[in-house]
């Protein structure tokens, strides 16, 4: 092997390969990746963080406080890091439940209201009686501590450099990154 026409001995080859490996590692640490972050807007604390990709589906689930029935808001992650609300699902109509304009269908005992609303961030009030949760990569995470009733949650897709979240990376489908101390 040669470097700029100069033959490399064994030690030079090792140093050369280590230098290339180090350069690749350093470059990758600054490579930005998309993360879905659930933040407490009152404190600014990131509660959960997931690594996501375009077209990933995210479901925000909660129990409706009046009707005591489950409600699901289904989002798709777009390439520009917006959230696209694609549908809202609930088992029956009732006070405070969606009944707006849109294609409605019933499947498996659930009403589905098709939506097409783009947003930079989705916000919701936190209440422990609503038992909110997030479903992503076919896994569900309950939202709770360290939040208190009345906190406002924000769900946002943010591009972060890899070095900033490297200690918190989990494979898709594993437990979310949880910054609780």
Do 15 and 90 lie in a common domain?
A: no
Q: Indicate if 71 and 1 belong to the same structural domain.
A: no
What pLDDT was estimated at residue 143?
87
- pLDDT tens string 25-51: 877 777 888 999 999 999 998 888 888
Residues 37 and 12 in one domain: no
Indicate if 111 and 173 belong to the same structural domain: yes
pLDDT tops 80 at residue 10: no
- Tell me: do 144 and 167 sit in the same domain: yes
Provide the number of structural domains found in the chain: 2
Task: Supply the mean pLDDT for the chain.
Answer: 80
Which H, E and C letters describe the chain, residue by residue?
CEECCEECCHHHHHHHHHHHHHHHHHHHHCCEEEEEEEEECCCCCEEEEEECCCCCEEEEEEECCCCCCEEEEEEEECCCCCEEEEEEEECCCCCCCCCCCCCEEEECCEEEEEEEEEECEEEEECCHHHCCEEEECCEEEECCCCCCCCCEEEEEEEEEEHHHHHHHCCCCCCCCEECCC
Residues 40 and 108 in one domain: yes
pLDDT band per the 50, 70, 90 thresholds, residue 5: low
pLDDT at 170: 47
pTM, 2 dp: 0.73
* 160 and 118 co-located in one domain: yes
Residues 17 and 86 in one domain: no
pLDDT above 80 (res 4): no
| Tens of pLDDT, residues 67-116 | 788 999 999 999 999 999 999 888 876 666 666 555 566 667 788 888 88
Range(s) of the domain holding residue 130? 32-178
42 and 11, same domain (yes or no): no
């Amino acid at each position: 092997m040669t470097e700029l026409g100069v033959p490399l001995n064994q030690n030079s080859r090792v140093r050369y390969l280590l230098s290339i490996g180090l350069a690749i590692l350093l470059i990758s640490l600054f490579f930005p990746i998309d993360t879905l972050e659930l933040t407490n807007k009152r404190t600014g604390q990131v509660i959960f963080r997931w690594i996501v990709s375009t077209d990933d589906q995210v479901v925000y689930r909660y129990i409706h406080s009046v009707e005591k029935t489950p409600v699901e808001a289904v989002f798709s992650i777009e390439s520009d890091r917006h959230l696209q609300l694609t549908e809202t699902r609930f088992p029956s109509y009732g006070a405070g439940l969606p009944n707006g304009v849109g294609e409605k269908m019933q499947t498996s005992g659930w009403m589905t209201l098709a939506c097409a609303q783009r947003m930079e961030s989705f916000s919701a009030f936190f209440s422990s009686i609503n038992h909110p949760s997030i479903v992503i990569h076919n896994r569900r995470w309950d939202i709770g501590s360290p939040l208190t009733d009345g906190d406002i949650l924000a769900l946002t897709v943010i591009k972060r450099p890899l070095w900033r979240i490297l200690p918190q990376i989990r494979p898709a489908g594993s437990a979310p990154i949880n910054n609780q101390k």
